Amino acid sequence: MYKINKLGMFLVVAFLAAQGPFFNALADHDKHKEQKHHHEKEVRGETEDDDGDYLVAVNNPTYIENCGPCHLAYPPDLLPSESWNKILNEIDNHFGETIIIDPDSKKVISEYLKMSAADVSSSEVSIKIMKGIKGQPPNRITEIPYIIKKHHEVSLTVIKRPAIGSLSNCAACHKGAGKGNFDDDGVVIPN
């Protein structure tokens, strides 16, 4: 009996001794990963608190003038360039609206959108948007799997409220949308 206990104790001690360095190595690895993450955020000009939900604060006057009167002048980094191209090429038949834009303005808008589109942006939202898009470029922001997923808890009854109307009306709920802030902390759903 005594002998077995001693052997048991020896095994437990040996087991713990063997695990020690292993757990230490794991902890070091995590710490290293955290430091690397912190460094990457600093390079992009983000702080630790900022979880990367900021998109482009739209400031191009031609874009705002032509694409902002009916809905938010959507931040370019919400759609890949291919989607923007398609929207601009079919602007005379735009979700039931006929929109006329002079060729020079169209060129300015096209360049502006392409420069910060989701496929070239390094914002966290853009990266998540691009991850979920497979095959065809989306026709709408509200068709993007990541955007659908983020709003699955928002009911149709809420969306149909007069102050909202449609999920495309981002600024109704995202109070900082005009500044590119879509953080969930900035959401106020109108009654």
User: CA–CA separation, 168 vs 159, rounded Å?
Assistant: 10
Q: Counting contacts by CB under 6 A, is residue 168 touching ligand HEC? A: yes
**What string marks each residue from 43 to 72 as x (binds ligand HEC by CB under 6 A) or -?**
----------x------------xx-xxx-
Cβ–Cβ < 8 Å for 80, 137: yes
Residue 43 C-beta: closest distance to ligand HEC, Å? 21
Taking alpha carbons only, the member of 168, 152, 167, 164 closest to residue 189 is 164
Interface segment toward ligand HEC; rule CB under 6 A; list 9-17, 22-30, 41-49, 149-157:
149-157
| Per CB under 6 A, 117 contacts ligand HEC | no
Q: Which of 66, 71, 116 is nearest to 88 (CA)?
A: 66
Dihedral angle, C-alpha 124, 129, 134, 135, nearest 10 °:
-110
Is 82 a binding residue for ligand HEC by CB under 6 A? The answer is: no
Among 29, 32, 36, 94, binds ligand HEC (CB under 6 A): 94
Q: Left if phi > 0, otherwise alpha if psi is -120 to 50, otherwise beta: which for 86?
A: alpha
For residue 36, state whether it binds ligand HEC (rule: CB under 6 A).
Answer: no
Question: Residue 38 or 160: which CB sits closer to ligand HEC?
Answer: 160
Binding segment for ligand HEC (CB under 6 A), chosen from 3-11, 25-33, 36-44, 163-171, is 163-171
Which residue's CB is nearer to ligand HEC, number 109 or number 133? 109
Cα 87 to Cα 18, 50, 81, 92, 103, distances in angstroms: 62, 31, 10, 9, 15
CB-wise, 8 or 165, nearer to ligand HEC? 165
Q: What's the burial of 123, exposed, middle or buried (CB within 10 Å: 0-12/13-18/19+)?
A: buried
Q: Under the rule (CB under 6 A), what is the footprint of ligand HEC? A: 53, 66-67, 69-71, 74, 78, 87, 91, 94-95, 97, 99, 101, 109, 125, 140-142, 147, 150-151, 154, 158-159, 164, 166-170, 172-174, 182-184, 187, 189
